[in-house]
Amino acid sequence: MEQGLEVALTDLQSSWNNVRHHTEEISSDRLLVRRGQAFNITLYFRKRGFQPGLDNIIFVAETGDSVYLDSEPQRQEYVVNDYGFIYQGNKNWIRPCPWNYGQFEENIIDICLELLDKSLNFQIDPATDCALRGSPVYISRVVCAMINSNDDNGVLNGNWSESYLDGINPAEWTGSVAILKQWHATGCQPVRYGQCWVFAAIMCTVMRCLGIPTRVITNFDSGHDTDGNLIIDEYYDSTGRILENKKKDTVWNFHVWNECWMARKDLPPGYGGWQVLDATPQETSNGLYCCGPASVRAIKEGEVDLNYDTAFAFSMVNADCMSWLVYGGKEQKIHRDTNTVGNFISTKSIQSDERDDVTENYKYIEGSPQERLVFMRALQKLKARRSEGPHKADSQHSTPVPLNRDSPRSLHMPSLQPSDIVQVSLKFQLLDPPNMGQDIRFVLLALNMSLQFKDLKVNLSAQSLLHDGSPLPPFWQDTAFITLSPEEAKTHSCRIPYSQYSQYLSTDKLIRISALGEEKNSPEKILVDKIITLAYPGIMINVLGAAIVNQPLSIQVLFSNPLSEHVADCVLTVEGSGLFKKQQRVLIGVLKPQHRASITLETVPFKTGQRQIQANLRSNKFKDIKGYKNVYVDLRL
């Protein structure tokens, strides 16, 4: 009787397979293959060889293709690319923040697997958790909950308080690798601190490392509807200043989340593809601080009853805003704005440094019949769900709501009717680019569109904002009395000195200027505001000579103090996957007023191909002067 085969050695052909599965940058010694793609192994047998027709070998590997993207450029961008941009600022001034995802850097794959093992799901039931890890829907929810630390020893502590003395200001980070390695090195203690873009960036790193196509999305004027009625309530006093919001509804100046590509066999056909996942701890989902996956198509169509957290995601891009005037202890409804929330929804373009606007993926054109139809469909579904049981919301932020727009609105009481005509228009116009360290000069434009004389009293104010909509106290006020002849336009000039606003600025460098106009002998009021983001000059990076793998490379970094005062505690950080083994920190110390400086760093690139250098300069006066440089590393000269 012929003896059966006995395996003596298995060669997983790790190096060969990993190259074809685009995982060679992670390791050449360990087999790392992607689902839905063939791979080779070689079996060596003891005593005799394999005999076709006599021997039969069955090898089963179930991987599936539930995260397969059929576009090679998309696969390169959303799985393989290890750097990118996260968009910040405001809808009138969108700026790219360079970021090092670094999903192929040393030990990152092990840290990502450790993250899964530290989840509450694994801790409670390891066998079930591991059995479900082939599901991208399941694994994305686990990762989403583990990025924040609200329920467990997740990666990041969130902090929106402007006090970061016992950690790192979120604005200073330039990459995910340092954060993930710190979390691992400290025994999985949460890293301090993160805000929305840091949560999203870390999740992008982990999901790309696990092979799930992922991109980072920024939504400008992003709604946070805590009571599930698709209405963001905002409150103002008689000067146009934002007041504290008792309901805790907010509009974030911008908010950042992720989209992950996956099939959704748990949903009706047609709702697979890009799914929203939001790791920023805002609301609980099935008892944990995570959000999604919510089908982007379901959001656009108002199908808010589909899993997971689609109603909350819908409100982030398409809630309405209700304005209330507060005076004498009373609240009066003054305006409902259907266009405020969800603008310029942005992500990095495929194989390009340009911004890609994906707003049309989330919503129909604002104000169109289709958009209003979808809104009413979503509202009806939410009302039906509430009638079945109480809606519960557990918001962690008590923050007010910024308007985030520069357009006048009539606040005629008791409510606006279609026949009402705004007879006076107010608008702000900047006279100079709003650069940090310089005075802010602007004018208020007043236009009388009627055939009658108009006497206006206008209260003006300025206050700093955090990017999540939280206001700081007003630091500048002015009053203007403007008389307008029929169809006349006038301007009122304003100036806010740097010495007046500098001590009141938040890290986000956002200033909201507002004006509330009252017409003599009329109940009509006109509210206008404008968000100003103060800009810094960026860091310049020069690569001195050709970049060749495993050959020394000099990199020049040029930076300056943009202020007319000394700044201290200056630290420059520089990183870049494939270029630096770890983040470089250079202590600069004190920089004199308007002083320009440069340093030269030496490194040895250890990976070929397209790379990016990210740099950040912080001091006791500013935290996030950024710069980046794309570098192509050749194999040889």
Tell which residue, 338, 319, 322, has the closest CA to residue 235: 322
> According to the annotation, is 318 in a ligand binding site?
yes
Beta carbons of 158 and 199 less than 8 angstroms apart:
yes
Q: How far is it, in rounded angstroms, from Cα 114 to Cα 184?
A: 8
Token code pair at residue 189: 């203690």
Beta carbons of 351 and 75 less than 8 angstroms apart:
no
User: Would residue 467 show up in a list of annotated catalytic residues for this protein?
Assistant: no
Q: How far is it, in rounded angstroms, from Cα 565 to Cα 592?
A: 7
User: Would residue 209 show up in a list of annotated catalytic residues for this protein?
Assistant: no
Q: Which of 21, 224, 255, 467 is catalytic?
A: 255
Task: Write the DSSP symbol of residue 3.
Answer: P
Q: Which of 97, 196, 321, 494 is catalytic?
A: 196
Token code pair at residue 147: 């990025």
DSSP lists the bridge partners of residue 570 as 589
Q: How far is it, in rounded angstroms, from Cα 596 to Cα 592?
A: 9
Beta carbons of 348 and 356 less than 8 angstroms apart:
yes
User: Would residue 196 show up in a list of annotated catalytic residues for this protein?
Assistant: yes
Q: How far is it, in rounded angstroms, from Cα 320 to Cα 287?
A: 27
Residue written as token pair 């999305």: 217
Residue written as token pair 């169109």: 368
Q: Which of 129, 233, 249, 278 is catalytic?
A: 278
Angle at 113 between CA 111 and CA 114, to 5 degrees: 60
What DSSP line would sit under 216-236, residue for residue? Answer: EEEEEEEEE-SSSSSEEEEEE
Token code pair at residue 588: 């600069």
Count Cβ atoms within 10 A of the Cβ of residue 385 and give its class: 0-12 exposed, 13-18 middle, 19 or more buried.
middle
> According to the annotation, is 320 in a ligand binding site?
yes
Max Cα–Cα distance, the chain, nearest Å: 112
Cα 41 to its chain centre, rounded Å, is: 41
Q: How far is it, in rounded angstroms, from Cα 303 to Cα 202?
A: 29
> According to the annotation, is 366 in a ligand binding site?
yes
Token code pair at residue 349: 């373009």
How far is the CA of 139 from the CAs of 105, 142, 436, in angstroms? 21, 5, 43
> According to the annotation, is 125 in a ligand binding site?
no
Token code pair at residue 358: 């994906």
Binding residue numbers for Ca(2+) = 318, 320, 366, 371
Binding residue numbers = 318, 320, 366, 371
Residues labelled as active-site residues: 196, 255, 278
